[in-house]
Amino acid sequence: MKTLATVLATAAALTCAVPAVAATAPPLPSVPDVPVLGQAWIGNVTDQRLAVLSVHGLRRVEGATVLYYSLGLRSEDQTGDEAAFFSAYGNGNNFVLTQNGSTGLECTAAAIDVAGSVAYSALKTDEVGRCISTKNLDLEAPRDQLGRATVGWVLLAPVPQTVTTVDVLVGSSLVQGVPVEDGLLEPTVTESAPAVGTGWPTVDTSRVSEAVDPDGAVFDLRSQVQDVKKKVTQAKRDGRDELELDASVLFDTDKATLTRAASGVIAEAAKQITAAGSTGTITVVGHTDSNAGDAYNLDLSKRRAAAVAKALAPRIPKGIRITPVGKGETEPIADNGSAEGRALNRRVTITLPK
């Protein structure tokens, strides 16, 4: 296997900014003897250093799929006295394809079958915010080894044999066209997060038994049909029908009072709820972008959900109960780093009973 320096040299010539999707970056050559199935830039909002994310393998084992990847600082960022804690890289999509409230990169991963509209995310444990993976404290380049590219792994939900190629999400970066193969990578070493080229970490596949709600790690991708005029989107999440209403139509900035245009949007939502024959309890959830503080956004989202619920109640069949909930900025569906992403995150969703 080639040395760490060979792997990191592939990044030295690249000077582009971190892309939202790996396909927008110039391709990086693979390293002989060390499989490199795709690469992308991945950033750290704390210190602005860029790392190269390399996907080395997506391997089926009994009850799971092992994702092997590595992270190493680009050449010009291998200076200074601060260690590179790679578990803090890739912030931005922490709640998009995870179902366990994970906030670290090591648990924010998924194999995405676009053709089948299914995502296979990290297997969670009964410890809040944790998954079966490399420990976050091990996923680093020490300050005296900033040229070290470190290998990590995570157990994802099992990808079926019929799915041969997927897109891989790690943190906020997407690597497309990754083949799914069988068996663990070899040779293995005892080090939990070894340097690239020194061997592969030993994955204890018996830990699959620690997974809590493994079925919950597999879910449908959002399928949407949008009415541009009325700003009502139909979606399916976790097996439930969901209506998404554009908050920019429902409310003015920082307000929880419905606009004139909101009447048509809510009427359309009520029509779709009635047509679905829903019974029982529907949930109206308010979401915000990340501007302002957490407490402010949570309060605003609660008031917006309550306003929509109040306007919706007289328009739907009697007997349907409505529960308003505010989530604030905790469940983004897009990157809050752009105006377009923030606009998508400002929304009100209506979840129908199964």
pLDDT of residue 128: 62
Relative to beta strand 38-43, strand 50-61 is antiparallel
pLDDT of residue 94: 41
Does the pLDDT value for residue 8 go beyond 50?
no
The answer on 203 and 344 residing in a single domain is: no
Q: In what order do the strands lie in the sheet with 165-170?
A: 173-179, 165-170, 109-113, 118-121, 218-220
The answer on 242 and 209 residing in a single domain is: no
Pick from 129, 127, 123, 130: which is nearest to 213 by CA? 123
Residues 6+ apart with CB under 8 A from 150: 70, 71, 72, 86, 138, 139, 140, 141, 193, 194, 195, 196
**Burial (CB count within 10 angstroms: exposed 0-12, middle 13-18, buried 19+), residue 75:** middle
Pick from 271, 270, 281: which is nearest to 352 by CA? 281
Q: Over the stretch 11-28, which tens digit does the pLDDT of each residue have?
A: 333 323 333 333 344 444
Separation CA 152–CA 148 (nearest Å): 13
Does the pLDDT value for residue 159 go beyond 90?
yes
Separation CA 176–CA 184 (nearest Å): 21
Separation CA 194–CA 200 (nearest Å): 7
The larger pLDDT score, comparing residue 196 to residue 246, is at 196
Domain span at residue 343?
225-351
Q: Are 185 and 200 in contact, with CB atoms under 8 Å apart?
A: yes
Q: Over the stretch 64-77, which tens digit does the pLDDT of each residue have?
A: 999 999 999 988 88
Q: Over the stretch 136-153, which tens digit does the pLDDT of each residue have?
A: 888 888 888 999 999 999
The answer on 229 and 216 residing in a single domain is: no
Q: Residue 291 to residues 44, 94, 158, 211: CA-CA distances in angstroms?
A: 19, 17, 37, 35
Can you tell me the mean pLDDT for 212-222?
A: 79
Going by pLDDT thresholds of 50, 70 and 90, the confidence category of residue 163 is: very high
The total of structural domains in the chain comes to 2
Q: Over the stretch 292-335, which tens digit does the pLDDT of each residue have?
A: 899 999 999 999 999 999 999 999 988 899 999 999 999 888 88
Tell me which residue has tokens 């809050």.
336
Lowest model confidence (mean pLDDT) among 77-86, 91-100, 236-245, 270-279? 91-100
The answer on 241 and 211 residing in a single domain is: no
Average confidence score pLDDT of the chain:
81
Does the pLDDT value for residue 129 go beyond 50?
yes
pLDDT of residue 2: 40
The answer on 215 and 75 residing in a single domain is: yes
Separation CA 251–CA 258 (nearest Å): 5
Q: Residue 178 to residues 2, 8, 164, 211, 288: CA-CA distances in angstroms?
A: 21, 21, 8, 24, 33
The answer on 56 and 12 residing in a single domain is: yes
Domain boundary among the residues 220, 250, 265 is at 220
Going by pLDDT thresholds of 50, 70 and 90, the confidence category of residue 173 is: confident
Does the pLDDT value for residue 45 go beyond 70?
no
The larger pLDDT score, comparing residue 353 to residue 162, is at 162
Rg of the chain over Cα atoms, rounded to whole angstroms, equals 22
The answer on 198 and 162 residing in a single domain is: yes
Can you tell me the mean pLDDT for 243-250?
A: 85
The answer on 201 and 55 residing in a single domain is: yes
Domain boundary among the residues 180, 195, 220 is at 220
Domain boundary among the residues 163, 193, 220 is at 220
What is the number of other CB atoms lying within 10 angstroms of the CB of residue 231? 21
The answer on 300 and 166 residing in a single domain is: no
For residue 343, give the H/E element and its range. Answer: helix 339-345
The answer on 237 and 211 residing in a single domain is: no
The answer on 68 and 185 residing in a single domain is: yes
DSSP state of 102: -
The answer on 176 and 69 residing in a single domain is: yes
Share of the chain above pLDDT 70, in %: 82
Does the pLDDT value for residue 100 go beyond 80?
no
Tell me which residue has tokens 């969703």.
349
